[in-house]
Amino acid sequence: LAASLKDVSIVTSDVLKVKDLFDGVTNNADYVIGAAPRPGEDMVLNARTLYRIAISLDLPWRPENSADSITVRREATIIPYEDIEEKLRNSLSNEGITGLYDLDMNTGRPEIILPKEAGENMEVSNFSFNHQKNTFRASIVAPSIENPVKTINVSGSIERIVEIPVLKAALRNGDIIGKRDIDWIKMPERKLQSNLLMR
């Protein structure tokens, strides 16, 4: 009737129970040991900690050696940066921002980690855009404004991109430039010079 230690435990709740660590436990299986790791994170319990748990709860388990351990992993829903950027671009579109532009985040490339049961949803709140400075601020709320499990504040700027024509190869004086001689490259608007041709 001895209990056996699991190699890895995947949990979904905020608390860690005896049955999350051991198989074959009949008594105290639902006893709460403590807080579970945060969503998306791991916790390692070593032999000494497990031994203390077994002794205090009178569990039929003892470590075989000091290397015995268990990794407890909290399941999570991860919203990647690409999805956050798409939401911000939609908000910029509502502000009349169209055409090509690069979006630069002052906060790096954030992602949102939620409990597994929360679902992969988010909304943009408190969005503001400065048309003179081309800067923005917003709050990303997940999974929704009505249920704000996780909120991150972001800020950044946009850099408008333009397309300019360039020759594919060098031509001689007097040559007529045709459509096939031209290629288009993209460059930041701030780098434009007065002698550049535009579309």
The residues with which 187 forms a beta bridge, in sequence order, are 162
% of the chain at pLDDT higher than 90:
69
**pLDDT-wise least confident of 23-32, 98-107, 166-175:** 166-175
Residue 188 pLDDT level (bands cut at 50, 70, 90): confident
Alpha-carbon gap, residue 122 to 129, rounded angstroms: 20
Is the dihedral angle over the CA atoms 77, 79, 80, 81 positive or is it negative? negative
Segment 26-68, tens digit of pLDDT: 888 999 999 999 999 999 999 999 999 999 999 999 999 999 9
The answer to whether 31 and 95 are in contact (CB under 8 A) is no
Helices (H), 18-108: 18-21, 47-56, 81-94
Helices (H), 57-156: 81-94
**pLDDT-wise least confident of 16-25, 117-126, 168-177:** 168-177
Segment 133-162, tens digit of pLDDT: 999 999 999 999 999 999 999 999 999 888
pLDDT at 196 over 70: no
